[in-house]
Amino acid sequence: MKEAHILDYVKASAVVMGLPVDEARALRVAEHLQRTAAMARLLEEATLEVSDEPAEVYRLPRPSGGGSGGGR
């Protein structure tokens, strides 16, 4: 998306949500949105396998039976 389109998007979104946005703030929001989109593109283009960074698996702690409220 081109820079002018992002600014138009920010302004239109503010109107739809009923948020008062002056020109300076709209420009700053558009700049941050553009930067965030660029970072997202980099992540989408990265070729990663599941084994590259496996997610931790959360397991609920088992009750200890001692009445302390839980533990491992």
Q: How far apart are CA 32 and CA 19, in angstroms?
A: 17
By CB atoms closer than 10 A (0-12, 13-18, 19+), residue 27 is: middle
Tokens of 63: 């009750």
Q: In this structure, how many other beta carbons lie within 10 angstroms of the beta carbon of residue 21? A: 16
What confidence tier does 56 reach under pLDDT thresholds 50, 70, 90? Answer: confident
Listed residue (37, 40, 43) closest to 6, CA to CA? 37
The two three-digit tokens of residue 39, written as one number? 């970072």
**pLDDT mean over 52-70:** 75
pLDDT for the residue numbered 45: 94
Res 55: pLDDT = 77
| pLDDT per position as a tens digit, 25-47 | 999 999 999 999 999 999 899 99
